[in-house]
Amino acid sequence: MNPSPWVIRWAQGETALDVACGSGRHVRWLCGRGMRVTGIDRDPAATGPLHEVAEIITADIENSAWPLGSRQFDLVLATNYLWRPLLPTLIAAVAPGGRLLYETFAIGQQTVGRPARSEFLLQPGELLAACAGLRVIGYEDGFEAGRYVQRIAAVKEQGSAEPYPRYALAAE
């Protein structure tokens, strides 16, 4: 499977964390661009071949402690995966000046296929709300290539708790 065009467009840095990396389509692509990559997934059979190219951590991140402690990365990415309680941890894992790339299924997907359960589908604006302390540089929410998807690319600004002014949007 090819890497996500969203990841191709926004990925940069020297270190990366691929959350729920599976068989490693993004791990391999990022390594091929010279990044030092850490992948994390609960399925050792899927990640087995990746040990040759990256640091791979086998862990059930939904039912056990976060295995990376306070480590930070230039790029943290998650695709086709949603575990809401983990979102603050992923944002904390982004190094100052680094990026969070998140892309997964959104509400509406249940009308065209799987996943169909609401706990696996983002609500409108949910990624924007989760990334409120980051500078959003790219965001999409809609239907594309036969699926409903929400995507965000956000930067953790260096040296500022509030990296940019907040402006209220006019009500339509």
What are the extents of the domains in the chain? 5-155
Helical ranges in the chain per DSSP H: 5-10, 25-32, 44-47, 87-92, 126-130
pLDDT digits (tens, 9 = 90+) for 54-71: 999 999 999 999 999 999
Residue 161 has pLDDT above 80, yes or no: no
Q: For residues 170 and 23, what is the distance between their CA atoms, to the nearest angstrom?
A: 44
pLDDT digits (tens, 9 = 90+) for 108-133: 889 898 988 888 899 999 999 999 99
Question: Under CATH, to which class is 5-155 assigned?
Answer: alpha beta
